[in-house]
Structure 1
């Protein structure tokens, strides 16, 4: 097997499942915070938690999309790295 010359480590992988569970945790807490602050009569804090809830939901949607894309999102060992610009052939 040829030595990899790319700038990425050969074992680098994105921890998408960990990010998903952290997003679930954030979703639970921001939902709780939005409801709790709304019931207590703190509209500013409820709005802040609601905005965070929207951000966490968007992040979770992106994470689920990346997980569903499958292994092509994270290339395996058999995918060669990109060559640096100085090593590319000129046409």
Structure 2
């Protein structure tokens, strides 16, 4: 049963987002270097912009991980307010 407040109380899996950002960082770096060496300036710039975005996202994720359980509550904390059970 939906309570209607899920977007307000949504949580992200920060560890998964961290590893996906690391994966994206590696590939964006490889793409930037490879396209720059191949003489494809447009693609190298596109990969460089992507590298910048992924680096910023990685910094945000690391900041939130370091802030502790306020942003990563444990499994004992419900993700949303339980619905009222009225007979």
TM range (shorter): 0.7 to 0.9
Structure 2 match to 1:23 = 21
Give the alignment's TM-score, normalised by structure 1: 0.70
Q: Which runs of 5+ in 2 are unaligned?
A: 82-87
Give the alignment's TM-score, normalised by structure 2: 0.73
Structure 1 match to 2:47 = 49
- Displacement of 1:14: 1.9
Moved over 6 A (4+): none
Residues 22-45 of structure 1: CA deviation (Å, up to 9, x unaligned): 000000000000000000000000
Aligned residues: 74
Q: Which runs of 5+ in 1 are unaligned?
A: 82-91
1:58 to 53, 56, 59: 56
The CA distance in 2 between the partners of 1:43 and 1:68, in whole Å, is: 37
> What is the RMSD of the two structures over their aligned residues, measured on CA atoms?
2.4
Larger radius of gyration: 1
- Displacement of 1:13: 3.9
